[in-house]
Amino acid sequence: MHTVSDRRGNITIENSIQDRLLEAAYNHTTGRILLRPFLSPLFSKAGGAVLRTGFSKILIAPFVRSHAIDMSEYEARDYHSYNDFFTRKIKAGARKIDRAEHVLISPCDGRLCVYPVSENSVVTIKHTPYTVGSLVRNQKLAGRYAGGYLWVFRLCVEDYHHYVYADSGKVSAQVQIPGVFHTVNPVANDNFPIYKENTREYALLKSEQFGTILQMEVGAMLVGKIRNRPGNRLVQRGEEKGNFAFGGSTVILITQRGKVCPDSDILSQSERGIETRVRMGEQVGKKQI
């Protein structure tokens, strides 16, 4: 069970069957023991293989109905498998990219919380302390983000699982960090430091407006692949960076001190432990003057 707000401040409590099952598993010793085989990369790869079969197409219609997905936003075509459906492309213009230079955009659809990074590069996410160094496994790089912000965009299974660059600039090559595949449901973070245990990838974007943004993708249970486009090139705000395969997952931005100010509604809700629903391309912060 977790609390979510829209951009107008309307609060809802989410407590799906999936949430209750995960709470039962992660909050009890026996459940955590039984979960261990499901966290391995082999399980996620096997699950991904099943969802790439033609037989898996029977799952598409029930999933669309149960999650009330508006398929008019997506390209109309026949899907060869469930994973083919899950990685579907959205229609041009279905997500408006804010082009104002002073605006930081959301790189994806999802539920956003923003956390301040301390002078020691420590950040506390849902009562779990992290160091930026443990997240990126690079202490020197972590020091560049002391005093900045860490932005966690949590994608649920019903969200669009493609993501874009948050600004224009020069992007580095991807850095891959192997790990396990916890769910990114908030209940898991109460028991495990999931963002430094899960498989993840990141790149550095030398942004035109906001300093150097670290943009990271975190895999999750049944997300067998993070599919990023090649780096080491110039990119444009709103240009696709990549996509996830099946499952919930997370995109993380880390911004430097004095470069970006999160929007007041998002910052206020984050301080209360409430996620804010955002959509790809919309404003989530502004250039700090």
Nearest to 188 by CA among 25, 56, 77, 30: 25
pLDDT tens, per residue, the chain with 289 residues? 678 999 999 999 875 544 444 444 444 455 444 445 444 555 556 666 777 888 889 998 998 998 889 999 998 889 999 888 988 999 988 999 999 999 999 999 999 999 999 998 888 776 677 889 988 989 999 999 999 999 999 998 889 999 999 999 999 999 998 765 444 444 444 444 445 567 789 999 999 899 999 999 987 655 457 889 999 999 999 999 999 876 668 899 999 999 999 999 999 999 999 999 999 999 999 999 8
106 is catalytic: no
pLDDT of residue 151: 97
Catalytic residue among 168, 207, 249, 270: 249
Q: Identify the DSSP state of 178.
A: -
Catalytic residue among 5, 44, 81, 109: 109
The pLDDT, as a whole number, for residue 217 is: 92
Structural domain spans, the chain: 1-289
* Residue 195, both tokens: 């963002």
CA-to-CA distance for 153 and 151, rounded, in angstroms?
A: 6
- Catalytic-residue membership of 167: no
**pTM assigned to the model:** 0.83
Please give the pLDDT value at position 249. Answer: 82
- Is 171:235 a contact under the CB 8 Å cutoff? yes
Tell me how far apart the alpha carbons of residues 30 and 214 are, in angstroms, rounded to a whole number: 37
Q: Which two tokens stand for residue 172?
A: 């580095």
3-state SS of 1-36?
A: CEEEECCCCCEEEECCHHHHHHHHHHCCHHHHHHHH
Q: How many CA atoms lie within 13 A of 180 on its CB side?
A: 15
